[in-house]
């Protein structure tokens, strides 16, 4: 029992979290698929102390090993991102790299676990994954600034929305996604069992192009 969790989120959410955690332990994973339109929000601007840039994996390989380690950017992941290819939206501050998220376009599979990838096969959208905020700058809204700063450059790339997912019992992530304009559009999931991977998704997830697929060999987890 976790009384702190129950006190913060309520007993109903606590019971939901326990049930979903047990299901995951048995190989069943259920996620809420979220679409964040890139025109949101229109009235909020990036703070002047930050800047946003669109970067390729090869650009980030030029940073020092210490800087990449601080930002959870392993050599293995960057090599895979360069091959895929994946692009990143990077938020910079006075110290350098402050936050990022990666995205994959045109249905290119992005790593989720050792056995499962994610694709978004919808040309108007992209799959957003592997978000990270520098540890010494967490809790001050950098994740929100990153999403705000990404909108203009993603629209310039012809991307109308970013599709991602949150676990239904990750209540902080659900709240953060909602504040950034994320709209739940459906559900998806998979079960790993003796006969392999069985996948499922609702009609809303299908329309957004989201699906789990068997992982390609030899890639790092997100």
pLDDT tops 90 at residue 178: no
Q: How far apart are CA 146 and CA 149, in angstroms?
A: 5
Q: How far apart are CA 108 and CA 88, in angstroms?
A: 14
pLDDT tops 70 at residue 214: yes
| Among 3, 12, 15, 23, residue whose Cα is nearest residue 189 | 23
Q: How far apart are CA 105 and CA 101, in angstroms?
A: 13
Average pLDDT estimate for 108-134: 93
pLDDT tops 90 at residue 208: yes
Question: What's the CA angle centered on 132, arms 126 and 137, to 5 degrees?
Answer: 140
Look-up: residue for tokens 């790993």? Answer: 192
Give the CATH fold of the 3-214 domain. Answer: Aminopeptidase (3.40.630)
pTM of the model: 0.83
| Among 107, 100, 49, 108, residue whose Cα is nearest residue 80 | 108
Residue-level pLDDT at 173: 76
Residue-level pLDDT at 30: 92
Percent of the chain exceeding pLDDT 90 equals 55
pLDDT tops 60 at residue 218: no
Residue-level pLDDT at 58: 95
Residue-level pLDDT at 1: 46
* pLDDT, mean over the chain: 85
Q: Where are the domains of the chain?
A: 3-214
Distances (CA, A) of 216 to 69, 170, 212: 25, 27, 12
pLDDT tops 90 at residue 79: yes
Residue-level pLDDT at 45: 76
Average pLDDT estimate for 64-88: 95
Percent of the chain exceeding pLDDT 70 equals 83
Give the three-class secondary structure for 218: coil
Average pLDDT estimate for 168-188: 83
DSSP 88: E
pLDDT tops 70 at residue 10: no
36 band by pLDDT with thresholds 50, 70 and 90: very high
Residue-level pLDDT at 175: 78
* pLDDT tens digits for range 132-169: 999 998 888 888 788 878 988 899 999 999 999 998 88
């Amino acid at each position: 029992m976790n009384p702190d969790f129950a006190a913060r989120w309520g007993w109903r959410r606590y019971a939901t979290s326990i049930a979903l955690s047990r299901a995951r332990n048995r190989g069943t994973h259920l996620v809420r698929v979220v679409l964040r339109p890139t025109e949101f929000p229109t009235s909020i601007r990036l703070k002047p102390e930050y800047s946003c840039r669109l970067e390729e994996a090869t650009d980030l390989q030029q940073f020092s090993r210490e800087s990449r380690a601080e930002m959870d950017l392993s050599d293995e992941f960057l090599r895979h991102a360069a091959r895929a290819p994946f692009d990143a939206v990077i938020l910079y501050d006075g110290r350098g790299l402050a936050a990022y998220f990666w995205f994959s376009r045109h249905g290119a599979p992005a790593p989720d676990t050792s056995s499962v990838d994610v694709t978004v096969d919808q040309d108007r959208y992209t799959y957003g994954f592997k978000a990270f905020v520098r540890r010494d700058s967490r809790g001050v809204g950098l994740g929100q600034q990153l999403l705000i700063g990404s909108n203009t450059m993603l629209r310039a790339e012809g991307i109308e929305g970013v599709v991602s997912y949150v676990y239904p019992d990750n209540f902080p992530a659900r709240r953060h996604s909602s504040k950034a304009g994320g709209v739940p559009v459906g559900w998806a999931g998979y079960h790993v069992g003796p006969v392999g991977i069985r996948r499922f998704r609702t009609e809303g997830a299908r329309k957004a192009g989201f699906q789990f697929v068997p992982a390609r060999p030899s890639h790092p987890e997100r």
